[in-house]
Amino acid sequence: MNFQKIPYEQTNAFSSTVLDYLANKEELNPFFAYLPSAKQIPHIINDIKHSNKLDRSKLVQALKEQYNNYVPSLQVVKNIDLLKEENTFTITTAHQLNLFTGPLYYIFKILNTIRVAQNLSTKFPEFNFVPCYWMGSEDHDFEEINHTYLFSKKLEWNNFQGGSIGEYNTNGILPLIDELKAIIRQGPFLDDLIAIFKRAYSHENLAKAVQILLDELFGNYGLIVVDGNCKTLKQAFQPIIEEELKNKTSFKLVQEEISLLEQAGYKSQATPREINLFYKTNHSRERIVETADGFELADSKKQFTLDEMLAQVRDFPERFSPNVILRPVHQQLILPNIAYIGGGSEVAYWMQLKTLHEHYDVHFPMLLLRTSAQIISSAQQNKLSKLGIHSKDIFKDIETLKKEYIARQSHLDLNLESEKEALNTLFATIAQKATEVDASLENWVGAEGQKALKSIENISKRLIKSEKQKNDQSMVQIEKIIEQILPFGGLQERKENFSQFYSAYGQEWFNELLTLLDPFDHQFTIIEV
């Protein structure tokens, strides 16, 4: 693979919060704990060691329970056992249970997590670093996870069941695997991938299916899949659930943090509710709302007094599910986690949560922006080359690309920039003479100059339009190749699934990406395959 790296800002696809974070803008310093640098690792380890919150034995017990009825890769078994040791730490990413892993960035996040764990294990051999994927199995937004795209074609799973996604049965997914195969059609590793999908989604429970899928794809790298939807792991979270119900702590603290972020000039990413918990039973996950007499479930309207709700927490902590505000706290409470790897919106909403972690004396991790990448095939690269478009220029506006192509073809300045400059010089001279005659004429001459400049601009537009018509086929080709590379007008990684690439290159594709995608590098990667 050939590759090149460009600054994130050149893609026009990232928020000012993310760009300023990577640039280490002083305004954001109060909202994170560590600079995103490997040099911070010894300091972070020291901070975690002084935390008394971790219960490693419970963590290992829960993970072994979660992997029951399925024998994971040997490296995963080894890494789970390593978590018993005080010198073992985790690098974590998290995501929902997207169909067939969903968009490409899902894969990039996981590979970044593995890469950081591998690099730190080499750099600091006295410690162990293991990669973890925290499943968003408790989320209930089915429409966010029930589809994926291949060559801009949508594959959709239509089987809404209600409640937490991880508890869905997988009925209806196996036929979609055949559709996926028909879309890809060929590739030396296509049959291998289809077999992996079928083994995973033959399990009736979606959370288990995703665990198996990720073990098949990444188990040899030691990736541990963690499901927070677990009674053992919720027991550690119990005191925080109780305080949330009694005092609405997270709402107050996060609102204050959002206010400070906005004063610093940044938008909030996630909005807290007064109570940032759901109540979860079979086929339902309902928001908990405070009432005058206690609490009510938002959908079923079921009522609880405070004492009744606290009794539920004590007896059934697994029924209480954190939303986006409290989920990171649950994760950090359980894992000896050094760094969290997420996309731009994730890094931004974690910046709202530092004070909340401090309140609960829960370690706040280093925030690492996952690597973003654009994959361009050799066929696409050939088309770009014929049109004279460099791969780093694909993020330019299409009209700009067309104008640049026309300029290259005509060898003329159809924007008439030199003529505009000469006209401005001419009217400046005229204005000076007019002022000497009558000072009141200066504005009139300026207005006439603007009219003349407008005429030249109209002539320029007509020239460019005529040249475009002469090169109509090339204009269409530019539109088509950019739409192919940037589907639906956005980054490829936010739409396209990994299957087309895995089918062509197999597991070696992951190995290649591991060498290229480094979240400590802080640059966008363009990869030619």
Q: 38 pLDDT exceeds 90? A: yes
Mean pLDDT along residues 70-97: 96
Q: Cα(34)–Cα(229) distance, rounded to whole angstroms?
A: 29
What pLDDT does residue 52 have?
Answer: 64
> Number of structural domains, the chain?
2
Q: 18 pLDDT exceeds 80? A: yes
Q: Cα(343)–Cα(25) distance, rounded to whole angstroms?
A: 19
What pLDDT does residue 421 have?
Answer: 84
Percentage, residues of the chain above pLDDT 70: 98
Q: What is the pLDDT of residues 418-450, one digit of tens each?
A: 888 888 888 888 888 888 888 888 888 788 888
Structure tokens at 143: 């429409």
341 lies in a domain? yes
Are residues 113 and 198 part of one domain?
A: yes
Residue 414: pLDDT band by 50, 70, 90 thresholds? low
Are residues 205 and 93 part of one domain?
A: yes
Which of 108, 63, 69, 67 is closest to 90 using CA atoms?
63
Q: Cα(153)–Cα(173) distance, rounded to whole angstroms?
A: 16
Mean pLDDT along residues 14-20: 95
308 lies in a domain? no
Which of 65, 31, 38, 58 is closest to 261 using CA atoms?
31
Mean pLDDT along residues 249-271: 96
Beta partners for residue 242, in sequence order: none
Are residues 459 and 510 part of one domain?
A: no
SS3 341: strand
What pLDDT does residue 465 have?
Answer: 76
Q: From the CB of residue 194, how many other CB atoms can be counted at a distance below 10 Å?
A: 17
183 lies in a domain? yes
Are residues 86 and 183 part of one domain?
A: yes
328 lies in a domain? yes
Q: Cα(346)–Cα(277) distance, rounded to whole angstroms?
A: 19
What pLDDT does residue 470 have?
Answer: 62
- Lowest mean pLDDT segment, chosen from 78-82, 122-126, 198-202, 433-437: 433-437
Q: Cα(232)–Cα(471) distance, rounded to whole angstroms?
A: 66
Q: What are the distances in angstroms from CA 433 to CA 308, 323, 342, 343, 430?
A: 89, 71, 63, 60, 5
* Separate counts of helices (H) and strands (E) for the chain: 22, 15
| Residue length of the chain | 529
Are residues 518 and 417 part of one domain?
A: no
Residue 468: pLDDT band by 50, 70, 90 thresholds? low
Residue-by-residue DSSP string for 279-332: EEETTEEEEEEEETTEEEETTT--EE-HHHHHHHHHH-GGGEEE-TTTHHHHHH
Q: Cα(361)–Cα(50) distance, rounded to whole angstroms?
A: 11
Residue 16: pLDDT band by 50, 70, 90 thresholds? very high
Q: What is the pLDDT of residues 299-317, one digit of tens each?
A: 999 999 999 999 999 999 9
Range with the largest mean pLDDT of 75-89, 442-456, 462-476: 75-89
Q: 413 pLDDT exceeds 80? A: no
What pLDDT does residue 445 have?
Answer: 79
Are residues 99 and 65 part of one domain?
A: yes
Q: 412 pLDDT exceeds 80? A: no
Are residues 329 and 478 part of one domain?
A: no
Are residues 129 and 40 part of one domain?
A: yes
431 lies in a domain? yes
Q: What is the pLDDT of residues 274-286, one digit of tens each?
A: 999 999 988 899 9
**The residue to which tokens 């361009």 are assigned:** 376
Residue type, 97: L
Q: At a CB cut-off of 8 Å and minimum separation 6, what does 165 contact?
A: 96, 97, 136, 137, 138, 139, 140, 141, 142, 145, 206, 207
Are residues 214 and 168 part of one domain?
A: yes
| Half-sphere exposure at residue 218, Cβ-oriented, CA atoms within 13 angstroms | 26
Mean pLDDT along residues 382-403: 93
Are residues 72 and 190 part of one domain?
A: yes
Q: 258 pLDDT exceeds 90? A: yes
Q: At a CB cut-off of 8 Å and minimum separation 6, what does 340 contact?
A: 92, 93, 94, 328, 331, 346, 350, 365, 366, 367, 368
- On average, the pLDDT of the chain sits at 93
Q: What is the CA radius of gyration of the chain?
A: 28
Residue type, 396: K
Give kind and range of the element (H or E) at residue 456: helix 441-470
- Lowest mean pLDDT segment, chosen from 288-297, 327-336, 402-411, 477-486: 402-411
Residue 237: pLDDT band by 50, 70, 90 thresholds? very high
Are residues 161 and 78 part of one domain?
A: yes
28 lies in a domain? yes
Are residues 464 and 369 part of one domain?
A: no
Give the torsion through C-alpha atoms of 450, 452, 454, 457, to 10 deg.
-130
Which residue segment(s) compose the domain that 443 sits in? 396-485
92 lies in a domain? yes
Mean pLDDT along residues 108-121: 98
Mean pLDDT along residues 98-124: 98
Q: What is the pLDDT of residues 347-387, one digit of tens each?
A: 999 999 999 999 999 999 999 999 999 999 999 999 999 99
259 lies in a domain? no
What pLDDT does residue 457 have?
Answer: 84
Q: Cα(491)–Cα(171) distance, rounded to whole angstroms?
A: 31
Q: What is the pLDDT of residues 139-197, one digit of tens each?
A: 999 999 999 999 999 999 999 999 999 999 999 999 999 999 999 999 999 999 999 99
Mean pLDDT along residues 516-521: 96
Residue 53: pLDDT band by 50, 70, 90 thresholds? confident
